Amino acid sequence: MGWVHVRRDHGKLIFIDLCDRWGMVQVVFTPANKELLASADKLRSEWVVEIRGNVKSRPKGMENLELPTGSIEIEAEELQILNESQTPPFALDTDGYEIGEDNRLKYRYLDLRRERLKKNLILRDKVIAFMRDFLHQRDFIEVETPILTKSTPEGARDYVVPARVYPGKFYALPQSPQQYKQLLMVAGIERYFQIARCFRDEDTRGDRQPEFTQLDLEVSFAKQEDILAITEELYLSLVRTLFPEKKLTLDSKGRIPVMTYKDVMEKYGTDKPDIRKNKNDREELAFLFVVDFPAFEWKETDPSISSGQGKGRWDSTHHPFTKPRVESVEQFWQEFKEKPGQMLADQYDFVLNGYEIGGGSIRIHDPELLKAVFEALGNAPEDVERQFGHMLEAFRHGVPPHGGIAPGIDRLVMILAGEPNIREVIAFPKTGDGRDLMMDAPAEIDKKQLKELHIKL
């Protein structure tokens, strides 16, 4: 059973290439059964059929060594047409790069039939399965966290969801499971991971989507070197197992290189450098850890104002839960007042071939230090309590030191597959401007729904 990929008439014989998820096989219809041959003559591309027949060796000299099934063919004895198809809006036997992306995304269910995209989805599945197996073998527990949660400032705009039974109140879709995974550390889970869906209402680009997938993990009683070590072991094992043809660029000890933020900026002028020896070699993978990030950075409230002037404020370089390198609340306030821009954090980024593919940190586990950081960043005490009171309360019930990292799945698979953007490795992506052309979303909702939600436009 499968789809008719191509039909070819050769005199008294009709050949079709029959496709399914597993590949393609040639089927031949002969004059021995005239009724069957007449039915085969009706077949067109992308029709869905069921065929019964005998597997036979192809005639000598007619083999196709480029196909795994190229030495055999199916001599058809029965044909049933399960469903007809309109002529596809574009060719499905090419790699698809020559077709306008809007058209491909509108008919994504057809676009996904092409071999390249099927391979990308299979590759993505293998990567995720490897991650799960690797972490389970090291005593990590996969825990799902809520999608409907609370809107809190985490660096990007939230997607909000109106709560029908609580007029005027809203859920938010998670930018990351950051707070939940820290609360799992309070709960004593110790080694958590999740293949997590995350949502951020921010400008899109080739390696970014409104919704994306990340490997999210958190470990109790861990130092920075512990998180980097488990990440390094996972990713090097993954590449060596699933992509043995790839060339890893490592340091003299066979490890992923580690550079400080200061050194990487001075040497490359960016905190996500491409350190491959040959930038044109798609088979070369150059991982890098960047450490010792500044804890805080100055952010202008008006982007047209030059840095360091005008109205602005200090903000966390990563997020407010990241631990500054201080030993006490008193030391934090002293250093923040004297040299906020020089304070370092236990924060690290994970880079591959010039892309940031992950980031993480050791977290603040002292509730008083966490409260101090929020207040130092310009949040009124009552606002801190309103937005993060649940975290402060939880941390007063015995929280272990903990830290983690959240590498992106989409960007990693994009690089491993040699694709130009993450839309090529996501089954149903949005366009560059955040639209779903296949479903025609975002879309208006009817007045009845708006009334139920107590919303007026």
**Cβ of 211: how many Cβ atoms within 10 Å?**
15
pLDDT value of position 300 = 79
Residue 347: pLDDT band with limits 50, 70, 90: very high
User: How far is CA 428 from each of CA 66, 85, 203, 435, rounded to the nearest angstrom?
Assistant: 30, 22, 18, 11
pLDDT in tens, 26-82: 999 999 999 999 999 999 999 999 999 999 999 999 999 999 999 999 999 999 999
Residue 381: pLDDT band with limits 50, 70, 90: confident
Collapsing DSSP states into helix, strand and coil, what is residue 146? coil
CATH number assigned to the domain covering 2-83: 2.40.50.140
**Cβ of 98: how many Cβ atoms within 10 Å?**
8
- Between CA 223 and CA 191 the distance in angstroms is 13
pLDDT value of position 20 = 95
- Classify domain 110-293+345-365+400-425 at the CATH class level: alpha beta
- Between CA 145 and CA 183 the distance in angstroms is 11
pLDDT of 304 above 90: no
- Between CA 296 and CA 354 the distance in angstroms is 23
Q: Where are the beta strands (DSSP E) in 339-433?
A: 347-352, 355-362, 402-405
Contact 319, 406 (CB under 8 A): no
Residue 384: pLDDT band with limits 50, 70, 90: confident
pLDDT value of position 8 = 94
Tell which wins on pLDDT, 141 or 152.
141
Collapsing DSSP states into helix, strand and coil, what is residue 14? strand
pLDDT value of position 305 = 45
Phi, psi of 76 (to 5 degrees): -70, 140
Task: Give me the residues paired with residue 95 across strands.
Answer: none
User: How far is CA 446 from each of CA 12, 160, 443, rounded to the nearest angstrom?
Assistant: 58, 18, 10
Nearest to 359 by CA among 166, 224, 169: 224
Q: What is the DSSP letter of 432?
A: T
pLDDT value of position 11 = 82
pLDDT value of position 308 = 46
pLDDT in tens, 147-161: 999 987 666 789 999
- What's the per-residue H, E or C state across 275-310? CCCCCCCCCEECEEEEECCECEEEEECCCCCCCCCC
pLDDT value of position 425 = 97
**Cβ of 397: how many Cβ atoms within 10 Å?**
9
Kindly report the average pLDDT of the chain as a whole number: 94
Nearest to 120 by CA among 444, 424, 446: 424
Query: What percent of the chain is predicted at pLDDT more than 70?
Result: 96
Q: Is 107 exposed, middle or buried (0-12, 13-18, 19+ CB in 10 A)?
A: middle
Phi, psi of 305 (to 5 degrees): -85, 135
Residue 306: pLDDT band with limits 50, 70, 90: very low
pLDDT value of position 228 = 98
Strands 247-248 and 284-285: parallel
pLDDT value of position 302 = 53
Please enumerate in sequence order all residues whose Cβ is within 8 A of that of 250, keeping only pairs 6 or more positions apart, or say none.
Answer: 256, 257, 287
The single-letter code of the amino acid at 319 is H
pLDDT of 344 above 50: yes
Q: What is the full DSSP assignment across 95-129?
A: -STTS-HHHHHHTHHHHTTSHHHHHHHHHHHHHHH
Task: Give me the residues paired with residue 447 across strands.
Answer: none
Contact 332, 296 (CB under 8 A): no
pLDDT in tens, 264-290: 999 999 999 999 999 989 999 999 999
Structure tokens, 93: 């036997």
Residue 345: pLDDT band with limits 50, 70, 90: very high
Query: What percent of the chain is predicted at pLDDT more than 90?
Result: 87
Average pLDDT over residues 173-186: 96
Contact 162, 456 (CB under 8 A): no
Contact 403, 224 (CB under 8 A): yes
pLDDT of 252 above 70: yes
Per-domain residue ranges of the chain: 2-83, 110-293+345-365+400-425
Residue 432: pLDDT band with limits 50, 70, 90: confident
pLDDT value of position 307 = 45
Chain centre to alpha carbon of residue 425: 9
Residue 207: pLDDT band with limits 50, 70, 90: low
Structure tokens, 44: 């067109």
Average pLDDT over residues 424-442: 95
